[in-house]
Amino acid sequence: MADNTAPSARHFIHDLVEADNAAGRWGVWPDSGRPRVHTRFPPEPNGYLHIGHAKSICLNYGLAEQYGGRFNLRFDDTNPVAEEEEYVQSIIRDVRWLGARWPGMYDDRARPAAPDEAIKAGVLFGSDYFGQMYDWAVELIKKGRAYVCDLSGDQVSEYRGTLTKPGRNSPWRERGVDESLDLFERMRRGEFPDGSRTLRAKIDMAHPNLNLRDPVMYRILHQSHHRTADAWCVYPMYDWAHGLEDSIEGITHSICTLEFENHRPLYDWFIDAINEGRTDDGSGPWGRKVHHPQQIEFARLELSYTVMSKRRLLELVRDGLVRGWDDPRMPTLSGLRRRGYTPEAIRAFAADVGVARFNGVIDIVRLENALREHLNRIAPRRLAVLRPLKLVITNWPESGDGAVDWLDAINNPEDVAAGTRRIPFSRVLFIERDDFHENPPKGYFRLFPGNEVRLRYAYFVRCTGCVKDPATGEVTEVHCTYDPATRGGDAPDGRKVKGTIHWISAAHAIDAEVRLYDHLFARPDPDDLSLSGSAHEPGAVPKNWKDNLNPRSLEVLKNCKIEPSLVDAGMAHDAFDIPNPDRFQFERLGYFAVDSESRSGALVFNRAVSLKDTWAKIARKG
């Protein structure tokens, strides 16, 4: 998928694929002679992709890449009610950003003349197969395997029965083939209102699997489609379309999440029904057999401190609880990208959590650690002060040739080739407010009256006092003296200091806004409505999952001070305007990325992740 990504641990799907390859189940690719492995990622364009989808993309594309196969990006766009072109564009950009590639995709670095159309090159759509699906539905009617039913939606549910009670046959189950063919054609022509009729498969109304109790194949919807416009007013149901799309494309391994396990018998039934009367050589009355893929299920990704349901994510956006789908607190890929996540980190996370047969909740720390590890390797180090407090070096010259000292600072200790940069040092600096304490607690090794610390890349300084606001008593200025012999951060006499703090030259500082993001929810399980660990005031019991939103998930800091080398920090865009923000480690503070709202002269940075897992410390304290 890309360089610098840990390979996925071996899992049960590898075993299945390799068993198929060894048996020659799917044949070989003509061009390479390697066993055929053909996977797909089939999103519905009714929302934005999230981290759970990323796991599926990595799995499907990774298998195709590992075994020399092919990967399709195909939209399951069979429900015109909720699908929009906006989602199509967003999903394609997210899949490209994550690193997946597919046959026929536009992969030129030059910006195309019509990017919204060019980006769809090689992308497949289930709606392109509407005609073939319709023809196969007609075939099933002719075979006595499907019928037009006049029951309403509520009546269909009532007749279906329960897990402990068999269903009842529809009064129209024995409708004649010719009548069903006529009605189905008239349904297509738009002669009937929405919901008045459906096409149903004729299977078994007493089957223990409710999905096989005469499932609906087509419903009437007079709804314009984002691709086919008003060409159709009957639309295929997911269970009918899913396997047929896979079959048409020659998919070998149709990989789904566990909620579709009970749908697999229906997946197989539909293709078997089409293949009735067909032969391998096409000599049967219905022609050649259609391809029959294998459906495989795996556990979906659930992440702590997060909701993954599209419905809930949409509710957060519509209720104004977040600032859009790309809010950096959201688990959407656009939100993670804006926060500062890299595709490499997400791929490494997907490899780390692996593929399982049983659902479980993954600690979000594993996702954060994947980002920390990647940014630790690639992110340039910079100095920034988020809550500035003035520090005056009283024995430093106020003017003249010695007023500014340019010091060497390491760009990235993990990458020697990154070299160094020059940063200015002067009489007046800014330090973090919590790096000074007038009456320090035990174990505090930063600045306090009489104590000596190291200024990162600079000198030893000793605190000689402070200035306070007479009205509030707040410290407004710290005074220090410096030792000229300690330039670079070491003392020739061998003395040591226990504290090292960062700083910014006041005369050279650039103002910036910094947004400190944290978990969107205050509890690992947003559905936990117990009193213990309430995100709200003591005694307040949350009424629903939204009451568990973290009230401190975002803190906006104005007038932060950053070093002058960050003046040109910004955001690159590829040929399709997929953003790639500059990312940095602000030393001692965390990893930060330039936000999309950042502008020249008004820089905005998002905290992507802290240097350490602060929530683990909170949990240990109880």
Catalytic center residues: 44, 300, 310
Collapsed DSSP state (helix, strand, coil) of residue 53:
helix
| Helix, strand, coil tally for the chain in percent (to 5) | 30, 25, 45
Q: Taking the CB of residue 36, how many other CB atoms lie within 10 A of it?
A: 22
Answer yes or no: are the C-beta atoms of 457 and 409 closer than 8 Å.
yes
Alpha carbons 421 and 410: distance in angstroms, whole number: 7
Distances (CA, A) of 427 to 352, 450, 454, 506, 529: 48, 19, 15, 8, 54
| Rounded (5°) CA angle 429-433-435 | 85
- Of 301, 305, 209, 295, nearest to 254 by C-alpha is 295
- Of 212, 241, 291, 193, nearest to 76 by C-alpha is 241
Alpha carbons 264 and 231: distance in angstroms, whole number: 30
Answer yes or no: are the C-beta atoms of 505 and 429 closer than 8 Å.
yes
Alpha carbons 587 and 379: distance in angstroms, whole number: 11
Residue corresponding to tokens 């075994």? 67
Alpha carbons 379 and 536: distance in angstroms, whole number: 36
Beta-bridge partner residues of 216: 200
- Of 422, 428, 429, 430, nearest to 397 by C-alpha is 428
- Of 388, 381, 382, nearest to 561 by C-alpha is 388
Alpha carbons 345 and 99: distance in angstroms, whole number: 12
Residue corresponding to tokens 């007479």? 470
Per DSSP, 46 falls in state S
Which are the contacts of 194, defined by CB distance < 8 A and separation ≥ 6? Answer: 219, 220, 221, 222
Residue corresponding to tokens 């018998």? 265
Alpha carbons 331 and 324: distance in angstroms, whole number: 12
Alpha carbons 244 and 227: distance in angstroms, whole number: 19
Query: How is residue 482 written in tokens?
Result: 């410096």
Collapsed DSSP state (helix, strand, coil) of residue 327:
coil
Distances (CA, A) of 245 to 53, 90, 236: 19, 22, 11
Residue corresponding to tokens 């606001």? 469
Alpha carbons 603 and 542: distance in angstroms, whole number: 37
Alpha carbons 579 and 593: distance in angstroms, whole number: 11
- Strand ranges, E, within 279-375: 294-298, 301-303, 360-362
Answer yes or no: are the C-beta atoms of 80 and 224 closer than 8 Å.
yes
Alpha carbons 163 and 404: distance in angstroms, whole number: 80
